Amino acid sequence: MKIGFIGLGIMGKPMSKNLVKAGYELVVYNRSQSKADELVEMGAVRAMCPAEVAEQCSVIITMLPNSPQVRDVCLGENGIAGTAKAGTIVIDMSSIDPVESKAIGAELAKKGIDMMDAPVSGGEPKAIDGTLSVMAGGSKENFDKYYDLLMAMAGSVVYVGKLGSGNVAKLANQVIVAINIAAVSEALTLAVKNGADPELVYQAIRGGLAGSTVLDAKAPMMMAHNFKPGFRIELHIKDLGNALNAAHATSTSLPLTSQVMEIMQALKNDGCGPEDHSALVKYYEKISNVSVEKN
């Protein structure tokens, strides 16, 4: 099966490499053409625009920064819709606004093009080792048809519901992660301000109800002041913005999400946007005049 892959960034490149390793023939496109070089060396065919990908492939995966880029690649000048044959499917694995997923899907449907939204969780490390978690929306028929393709990049692929549901699940995931990181930051700050060793507090609580994947992944980073990005603050801001947009469209109140969004914006203004989202602790350190870093 020949697969089109558009978007070879920090996530898209390792994902596409895993498809090549799994035996799929790829046609790849990235706005910065040099990012396609490694894939071409592995045997992929380079395309010069999304329309050229659609001329050659009836299955096209997109992995792009946000809603405007997905709309442009699908519907813009030299986009997929201009050359795709009826029956083509776009599997958008970007994390975007679910309202926009539905709108783009409706426009593609007018040209006989199907769409699935299949955003991922796991960050660059899991993109590299092929163990991403995929949350898929669209028709169940298409989910079943392309399940094996998605599993070539993932450790888990779950069907969530109709188009847009995948991005709803991803935004729910990002809301939980963001609020959890903020809670860990608050807790470690409280511990240090009251004279406790944050490492011992962490060890004491991780086996109880407060224990979580986020606690185990991010508390050690906070105490080491290791903010090398697994997932950057600026990207989490994008996801929380999409969550709040979707919430506003459905009159849903997200007060905790709104508060964490403001904390992230403050950190971005302090130059921390490119850092890992565990750097949320810097906000609490600043306002409490304390450091959770272990000496």
* pLDDT tens profile 216-242: 999 999 999 999 988 899 999 999 999
Tell me, what's the pLDDT at 238?
Answer: 95
Q: What's the pLDDT at 193?
A: 97
The average confidence (pLDDT) of the chain is 97
47, amino acid identity:
A
pLDDT tens per residue, range 37-75:
999 999 999 999 999 999 999 999 999 999 999 999 999
Residue 7 has what pLDDT? 98
Distant-in-sequence contacts of 21-27, Cβ < 8 A, 24+ apart: 22/152, 24/149, 24/152, 25/1, 26/2, 27/2, 27/3, 27/52, 27/53, 27/56, 27/57
Instruction: Catalytic residue, from 13, 126, 170, 238: name it.
Output: 170
Question: Residue written as tokens 């809670």?
Answer: 183
| Cβ-based neighbours of 148, under 8 Å, separated by 6 or more | none
Radius of gyration of the chain, Cα coordinates, nearest whole angstrom: 20
Q: What per-residue confidence (pLDDT) applies to 246?
A: 94
244 pLDDT tier (thresholds 50, 70, 90) = very high
Closest CA to 50 of 71, 76, 78, 90: 78
Specify whether the CB–CB gap between 108 and 114 falls below 8 A: yes
The confidence score (pLDDT) of residue 295 equals 75
Task: Kindly report the three-state secondary structure assignment for every residue of 262-284.
Answer: HHHHHHHHCCCCCCEHHHHHHHH
Residues 91/116, Cβ–Cβ less than 8 Å: yes
Strand 120-121 to 132-137 pairing: antiparallel
Retrieve residue 37's tokens. 């070089």
- Quick check: is 218 catalytic? no
**Which pLDDT does position 151 carry in this prediction?**
98
Contact 185, 281 (CB under 8 A): yes
Reported confidence tier of residue 282, pLDDT bands at 50, 70, 90:
very high
Residue 128's Cβ-count burial label (10 Å; 0-12, 13-18, 19+) is: middle
User: For residue 122, what pLDDT is reported?
Assistant: 87
Distance CA 133, CA 262 (A): 28
